[in-house]
Every structure is written in C-alpha cells, then in structure tokens.
Structure 1
Amino acid sequence: MGWTLGQLRTFVTVAELGSMTRAAEQLGYSIGAVSQHMSALRRAVGSELFLRRGRGMVLAEAGRTLLPRARSILAAQKQAEMAMLGRDFRSEAIVTLGVFGSASTRALPSIVRLLGQRHPHIEVRAREINVETMSAAVIDGAIDLGIGINYPAVPLPPMRGLSWSTVAGEDFGIVVPAGAPRPSPQDLAEADWILPPAEELFGRAMRLATSALGIAAKETHIVTDTAVALALAGTGLGLTLATPIMMSLGGPDVGLHPIAEAGGREIIVLTSPDPADPVAAVAEVVAEVFRPRMGP
C-alpha cells in the first residue's frame, strides 16, 4: 500500500486527539495538510478510517485495525533512526492508558514507576477519559487500554471487541465532614444527599446503594465531579457515598464511615480481546498496583 510515514503519524495523532484541528495544532501543520494526509491514506487503505460523531471523530473499523499497526511502524522507524545514530536501543513501544480522576491521582505514579523497572522499553502515556465512555474509547482504538469501573449492582454488559478483568474491589462508605460521627439511620433518611446524575452508571449505582440502606435519598445536589461532591460533603451541605480510592480526591475536611450494606464497585482493566504484548505488559502492571487494595 502506498502510504507514507508522515501520513501514518498524522493518522495516529488524529486518532488520539479525535480532531483534525487539534492534530494540526500538535503537529504544526495546516488543517489542509492534515486533511490531505488523511485523504491520501484513505485512498491507500481503500476504506474510511474515521466516522463523524458530534463535533469529533472516531475510528471506523479499518481505522481500528490500522491504529496499533501504525503505532508499531512508527516505533520501528524511531528505533531504526536511533540505531543509525549508534545508540544502544533494544526496542520501544508507546502504550496509551486511559485513566479517570481518582485512578490517576492514586495509582498512575506507581504504574509508571513499576513499568519503568519491569519494562523500560515501554513508554506509557496517560489520557484522561470519562469513566462512562472508557469502554468505547478502547473499542474505538482511541486508547490501547483503560482503567474502568464496574458496579456489581449495575454490571457492564458484554461488548464485542472488549475484554476486562477485575483488579480491585472496594466498598462504599458515607462521606461526612471530618470528625463527624457516623450518621444514624434517621440521619440518613432526613439528610440532603449529593448524588451523580441518574442517567450515569455511577448515579444508578449510588441510588441502588442508598436504597440498600433502607432510605429514599433526598436528592438535593446533583454533581458529576467526585471532587466537588466531596467538597460539598466536607462543608456539611449533604451526605454522599465514596470509596477509599475516591477519597484521594478529597482533602482533610472529609471523613469516610465504611458501610458494607451499600455495596461497592470494582476497578477493572479494559483491553481488546487479544492485546499486543506491550499492552498486555502494561495491563499486568496496572493489575499489580491495584490488587493489594482488594478486599477478602
């Protein structure tokens, strides 16, 4: 096929950023040049590489097939360049890891450190993804693997092109201002509650968790951002639920009272069903970083 390294590099950048405009800014090209690269590559492949979704772009089936191979070609090209410079360079692989707020705060430094010790030839690049769309990002090829969440009360359905494994489990607890006593059942029933939107998986899981406590939670504040919800709870504006890992987004003003009756969540690692060796190596490191936190 008559593609060039420049076209492949542009394709990978567009795939990772989901926008030709943003790709042009990062590469220092004009939007017209990026569009020409993509048109030429589409003709060489013989299939559409991207589909429009809203204002952004997602990979079509041919694009999902090409993306990991394009990354391998570009890594091999870099290896050849460095070998010609006389450097001792065994191999290099770049793996894009999807993360969300509490996972990146709590675990990402340990993942990068352990990966550097075990697999110094693998470079991991973090990309923040809404945890609600982490599965789609893996399936679409926007990331190589992702750290995601599964709620046993609202389990993820099987998805074609996706595989996952559970690496940690943790129970919900009630978030209160630091030093405040554990709320009584009456307190729980009468309190204002800070909950995520009901249309989100987390929102549905939270509502099932409060129902398991035997209450109909008074939904006073609807908040998507966990850090904001913790901040509101710390000022006494309401109660919310969180896990120990989620509490890493809070500060000294909040405390957590474990309450197993409310259920919990699982940290999962999402990959394609047959990940490349570097992706599998990163997945193994992610699992090791999280597994010590698993309950019995």
Structure 2
Amino acid sequence: MTWTLGQLRTFVAVAELGSMTRAADHLGYSVGAVSQHIAALRKVVDSELFVRRGRGLILAEAGRTLLPRARNILAAQKQAEMAMLGRDFRSEAIVTLGVFGSASMTALPQVVHRLAQRHPHIEVRAREINVESMSAAVIDGVIDLGIGINYPAVPLPPMRGLSWEAVAKEDFGIVVPTGRPRPGETELAEADWILPPAEELFGRAMRLATSALGINAKETHIVTDTAVALALAGTGLGLTLATPIMMSLSGPDVDLHPVAEAGGREIIVLTSPDPSDPVSAVAAVIAEVFV
C-alpha cells in the first residue's frame, strides 16, 4: 500500500471532526483537497473509510481499523522530526479523550497537568462529544476513551466493544436562585420546571428523579444545554436538578440544595475492553482526579 502522510493527516482530521468541511478549516485546505485526499486513500485501502450519518461522517469498519494506526504513524513522523532537530524526547503516544461540558471544566486541566508530571510521553487531545454519543464514539474508534455518565435509575446496557468503570458518584440537588430556601413539597409540585428532552437519557433520569421526590413535574421549559438550564433557574424561571459537578457550569446566581432521595449519577470512564497502555494510564489519572 502506498499512502502519504498528508492523506493520513487529512483522514485523521475528518475522523475526529466528523466533516470534510470542518477538517478543511482545521487543516487550512480546501474542501476539494480534503475530498481528493480521502478518495485517494480509499483507493489505496480498497475499502470505504466513512459512511454518512445525517449531515456528518462516521467511520466505516476499515476506517475504525486504520484510525489508531494512522495516529501512530503521524506520531512516529513527529518523533523523527524531533530527532533530526537534535531535541531530547521520549517515545510519544497520542491519546484522544472524549469530554463533555462539566467534565471539561472539572477534570481536563487536572488530567493534563498530572499526565505531564507522570507520563510526559503521553499527549492527550480532548474532543468534545455529546455525552449521549460517548459510548458510540469509543466503539467506533473516534476517541480512545471517554468520560461519560451512567444513571443508576436508567443504567447503560452492556455493549459489545465497550468497557466502563465508575470513578465518582454524586446526588442530584434542586437548583434555585441564590439565597432562596429549599422548596417544600407543595412548591415543588406547583413550580415550573426546566428539564432536558424526554427522549434523552438525561431527560429520562431527571423525570425519574422528580418522580422520586413525589411530584409530577410541570415541564415548562425543555432545555438541552446544562449551562443554559442553570442560567434560567438563576433568573427564577423555574426549578431544575443538578449535581455538584454540573454546578461548575453555573454562575454565582444559583444555589444547590441536595436531595438524596432524588437519586444521582455516576461519572464513568469508557474504553475498549483491551485498551493500550497509554489509554490505561490516562484512565487511571482520570479516576484519581474524580476521587
């Protein structure tokens, strides 16, 4: 097989960004050039590398096989450049970590800092992934591992090609404007509520949590983004539920009143069943950060 580093670099960018347009912007190429690179690489491997899902692209089976190896080839090329420049370096491993909003705010800076101290040869590249899609991103090889969520009330089903471990547990609490006391049962039942869409895992877990409080929540505002839901709660437009880690996305205008009876969630680390040593090292550091 004969491919070029440019083709592999383009392939990795499309795989990680899910779009030829976004890959072109990232690499400074035209969309036509990206398309030509992918077409040439597809001809070399004699297999489809991507399949279309909605408006984006996801890896086909051949693409999932090629992605980690393409990353290794590009890392080796970078090491060769460093050697020719006479720089000191250790064998470098690139690990792509899937993150979502509150996990990014809470864990990512500490993970990168600790890895730099303990494993300077491991480079972590974060990629924001919708938490609902984190499992599929690991299975499809888009990321090497991901920080995800499991709700004991709506547990993740076993999935082939996926392994996960809980690294933290936290309870839901009621979010109210700063200084306001914890709402009583009558106020909870009569209040407007800010909830995620019911078709999302988070939405189902939130509705079970409000039911555990003994109320049938009035779903006034349906909001996907946690930061937006917290901001709306701060203006007094309604109540919502959150956890301490979720509150990292809030401003100073809201308070969290713990309610253990509402249940909670687990922060989990998702990997393949047989992760590489660098991936395992990153997973171990993530577990430490959330302790």
Letter in 2 for 1:30: S
Partner of 2:156: 156
Could you report, residue by residue, the CA deviation over 1:256-282 in whole angstroms, capped at 9, with x for unpaired residues? 111111000000111112222222211
Q: Which moved more, 1:26-35 or 1:103-112?
A: 26-35
TM-score (norm 1): 0.95
Q: Structure 2: 5+ residue runs without aligned partners?
A: none
The percentage of counterpart residues that share the same residue type is 86
Letter in 1 for 2:115: L
Partner of 1:95: 95
Aligned residues: 291
- Quote the Cα distance in structure 1 between the aligned partners of 2:250 and 2:7: 44
- Quote the Cα distance in structure 2 between the aligned partners of 1:65 and 1:78: 21
Alignment of structure 1 residues 108-147 onto 2, 5 Å: 108-147=108-147
- 1:123 deviates by 1.3
Segments ≥4 residues shifted beyond 3 Å:
none
- Quote the Cα distance in structure 2 between the aligned partners of 1:132 and 1:88: 41
- 1:32 deviates by 2.7
Partner of 1:75: 75
- Quote the Cα distance in structure 2 between the aligned partners of 1:89 and 1:140: 31
Give the direction of change, closer, same or farther, for the CA distance of 1:28–1:237 in structure 2 (3 Å limit).
closer
Answering whether residue 40 of structure 2 is matched by residue 40 of structure 1, we say yes
- Quote the Cα distance in structure 2 between the aligned partners of 1:28 and 1:16: 16
Partner of 2:277: 277
- 1:88 deviates by 1.2
- Quote the Cα distance in structure 2 between the aligned partners of 1:141 and 1:234: 39
- Quote the Cα distance in structure 1 between the aligned partners of 2:280 and 2:238: 42
- 1:239 deviates by 1.1
- 1:40 deviates by 2.1
Q: 2:120 aligns to what SS in structure 1?
A: coil
- 1:46 deviates by 2.1
Q: Which moved more, 1:274-283 or 1:189-198?
A: 274-283
- 1:164 deviates by 0.9
Partner of 1:13: 13
Q: 2:97 aligns to what SS in structure 1?
A: strand
Could you report, residue by residue, the CA deviation over 1:67-93 in whole angstroms, capped at 9, with x for unpaired residues? 011101111111112112211112112
- 1:177 deviates by 1.2
Give the direction of change, closer, same or farther, for the CA distance of 1:202–1:46 in structure 2 (3 Å limit).
same
Letter in 1 for 2:13: T
Partner of 1:208: 208
Letter in 1 for 2:185: P
Q: 2:219 aligns to what SS in structure 1?
A: strand
Letter in 2 for 1:280: S
Superposed CA RMSD in Å reads 1.2
Letter in 2 for 1:98: G
- Quote the Cα distance in structure 2 between the aligned partners of 1:231 and 1:23: 33
- 1:35 deviates by 2.0
Letter in 2 for 1:144: D
- Quote the Cα distance in structure 2 between the aligned partners of 1:159 and 1:78: 35
Q: Which moved more, 1:268-277 or 1:18-27?
A: 18-27
Partner of 1:233: 233
Partner of 1:265: 265
Partner of 1:254: 254
Could you report, residue by residue, the CA deviation over 1:33-86 in whole angstroms, capped at 9, with x for unpaired residues? 222221222222221111111111100111111101110111111111211221
- Quote the Cα distance in structure 2 between the aligned partners of 1:255 and 1:35: 50
Letter in 1 for 2:132: E
- Quote the Cα distance in structure 1 between the aligned partners of 2:252 and 2:61: 47
Q: 2:33 aligns to what SS in structure 1?
A: helix
